[in-house]
Structure 1
């Protein structure tokens, strides 16, 4: 199976990306009905944004560590850090989608001018980068999991990985700023 996957990384990337983005946009646009999932206690649902802010901040650290490990050619530690980052991203996404399915997207409580000129542009860039990251992350993950480390030099793993990690970091950072605007500043 690994050999078959290794020969079809671009196609698998496309399929996984479309499925993931379909799920995300389905949840955000209300296609997934609220009754389709069990409701956690109100306190748990209310804690999700705060937990996700912590998850995002930790992910920023694990991504940065993963990049540093790769630069030092510590590929075992790089892999562990990036897989941890991926697990944190999945955790964030599952919690975020759960809350969105139950309650819809958060509404901005601050002034209209801040909403239009600060919050919306930050949110738009955050979302755009998150969407762009999905296929890049699948691509580097599939390359890394279907080949030995030595064979990765023959692929675009490092080049695409640098772009993916940079965009991923900025997306997580902007996500923390969006959180601060929604739950701390206003």
Structure 2
């Protein structure tokens, strides 16, 4: 299986991206009836945004530290950190999509002018970057998992990884800003 993936990283990236985005949009558009999902207690559903904000802050720190580690030549620390970042991102996404599938998106209760000129532009950029990151993350992750470390520098992993990490960090940061706008301001 690893050899198959290694030979077809772009195709596997495309397949995983399509499946992932289908799941994301199915949850966001509430294609799955809420009654088809087990319902967590209200306290758990209410805690999800706060837990996800913490996950985002931790993921931002982990990805940033991992990026710094590879710049210092600390390959194993980079690898572990980026895998941790992917796990944190997956946890965030599962929690977020579960809550959205059950309750729908959270409404902005602030002033209309802030909603129109601050909240929606930040939310839009955050969502766009998150969607763009998905194939980039799959691509660099598949390259890293299917090749020896000694060969990675000869692939697109370093170049695409820099772009993916930059966009990923920006998306995490904007996600925290969206959280602050929704729940604290």
TM range (shorter): over 0.9
Question: Which residue is equivalent to 1:136?
Answer: 136
Question: Which residue is equivalent to 1:54?
Answer: 54
Partners in 2 of 1:114 and 1:121 — Cα distance? 10
Deviation at 1:19?
0.3
Which region of structure 1 is more displaced relative to structure 2, 32-41 or 108-117? 32-41
Question: Which residue is equivalent to 1:19?
Answer: 19
Partners in 1 of 2:32 and 2:159 — Cα distance? 36
Deviation at 1:176?
0.2
Please state if 1:160 is matched with 2:160.
yes
Tell me the TM-score normalised to structure 2 length: 0.99
Partners in 2 of 1:160 and 1:33 — Cα distance? 37
SS at match of 1:67: helix
Deviation at 1:33?
1.1
Give structure 2 stretches of 5+ with no counterpart: none
Cα deviation code 1:132-173 (max 9, x no counterpart)? 000000000000000000011110000000000000000000
Deviation at 1:30?
1.1
Question: Which residue is equivalent to 2:79?
Answer: 79
SS at match of 1:154: coil
Question: Which residue is equivalent to 1:63?
Answer: 63
Question: Which residue is equivalent to 1:177?
Answer: 177
Question: Which residue is equivalent to 1:101?
Answer: 101
Cα deviation code 1:15-62 (max 9, x no counterpart)? 000000010011001111101210011000000000000000000000
**Superposition misfits of 4+ residues, deviation over 3 angstroms:** none
Cα RMSD (Å): 0.5
Tell me the TM-score normalised to structure 1 length: 0.99
SS at match of 1:105: coil
Partners in 2 of 1:9 and 1:74 — Cα distance? 25
Deviation at 1:73?
1.1
Give structure 1 stretches of 5+ with no counterpart: none
